Amino acid sequence: MSADATSPTQQSTPDRGQPMPASSGTGDSSRWPAFAVCAAVAVLTILDLAKVNVTLGPIEHTLGAASSDVQLIVAGYVLAFGILLVPSGRLGDLWNRKRLFLIGLVAFGLASLVCALSVSTEMLIGGRILQGFAAGILMPQVLGLIQQLFTGQERGRAFGIFGAIVGLGTAFGPTIGGLLIGLLGEEAGWRWTFAMNVPLALVVLPFAWRLLPSKQEVAKGQTLDLFGVALLGLAVLTTMLPFVLTSGRDTDDPARWWLLAPALGFFVAFILWERRYLRIGKTPVVDFALFRTPSYRYGVLITTLFFAAMPVGFLLVTLFLQQGLGHTAVLVGAVSVPYALTSAVVAAVSGKWTFQHGATLVAIGVALFAVGYTVVLVVTQLAEPALSPYLVSASLIISGAGAGLVMGANQMRMLLHVPVEQAGIAGSFAQVGQRLGNAMGLAIGSSVFFAGVAALQVTGAVQGTSSPVVQEAYKTSVAGGLLVVICLACLTLVVAVVDLVGHRRRLREQPAGE
Q: CA 221, 223, 227 angle in degrees (round to 5)?
A: 150
Strand, helix or coil for residue 60? helix
User: What span, in angstroms and rounded, lies between the C-alpha atoms of 443 and 439?
Assistant: 6
Tell me what the mean pLDDT of segment 43-67 comes to.
81
User: What span, in angstroms and rounded, lies between the C-alpha atoms of 31 and 150?
Assistant: 8
Predicted local distance difference test score (pLDDT) of residue 457: 47
User: What span, in angstroms and rounded, lies between the C-alpha atoms of 242 and 244?
Assistant: 6
User: What span, in angstroms and rounded, lies between the C-alpha atoms of 481 and 244?
Assistant: 16
Query: What are the C-alpha distances in Å from 72 to residues 18, 130, 500?
Result: 44, 13, 39
Comparing CA positions, the residue from 383, 457, 504 lying closest to residue 67 is 457
Question: Using 50, 70 and 90 to split pLDDT, how confident is the model at 289?
Answer: confident
Predicted local distance difference test score (pLDDT) of residue 214: 84
pLDDT tens for each residue of 201-240? 999 999 999 999 988 776 666 677 888 888 888 888 888 8
Comparing CA positions, the residue from 221, 269, 288 lying closest to residue 426 is 288
Backbone angle region of 512, left / alpha / beta, with phi > 0 → left and psi within -120 to 50 → alpha: beta
pLDDT at 320 over 50: yes
Strand, helix or coil for residue 511? coil
User: What span, in angstroms and rounded, lies between the C-alpha atoms of 140 and 407?
Assistant: 16
pLDDT tens for each residue of 468-493? 777 777 888 888 889 999 999 999 99
pLDDT at 40 over 80: yes
> Containing H/E element for 406?
helix 388-415
Predicted local distance difference test score (pLDDT) of residue 398: 95
Cα-Cα-Cα-Cα dihedral sign, residues 221, 226, 230, 231? negative
Across 181-190, 359-368, 443-452, least confident range? 443-452
> Which amino acid, one-letter code, is at 118?
S
Q: Tell me which of 281 and 63 has the higher pLDDT.
A: 63
User: What span, in angstroms and rounded, lies between the C-alpha atoms of 361 and 358?
Assistant: 5
Predicted local distance difference test score (pLDDT) of residue 204: 94
Provide the Cα torsion 298, 303, 309, 314; round to 10°.
Answer: 160
Alpha helix (H) ranges present in 51-195? 56-63, 67-94, 97-116, 121-149, 152-184, 186-195
Predicted local distance difference test score (pLDDT) of residue 246: 61
pLDDT at 64 over 90: no
Strand, helix or coil for residue 383? coil
pLDDT at 144 over 70: yes
**Please, are residues 465 and 299 in contact by the beta-carbon 8 Å criterion?**
no
pLDDT tens for each residue of 392-440? 999 999 999 999 888 878 877 787 777 766 666 777 777 778 777 877 8
Cα 205 to its chain centre, rounded Å, is 23
**Please, are residues 52 and 193 in contact by the beta-carbon 8 Å criterion?**
yes
Rounded to 10°, the helix 388-415/152-184 angle is 150
Strand, helix or coil for residue 381? helix
pLDDT tens for each residue of 73-128? 887 888 888 888 878 887 887 888 899 999 999 999 999 999 999 999 999 999 99
Strand, helix or coil for residue 212? coil
Q: Tell me which of 30 and 389 has the higher pLDDT.
A: 389
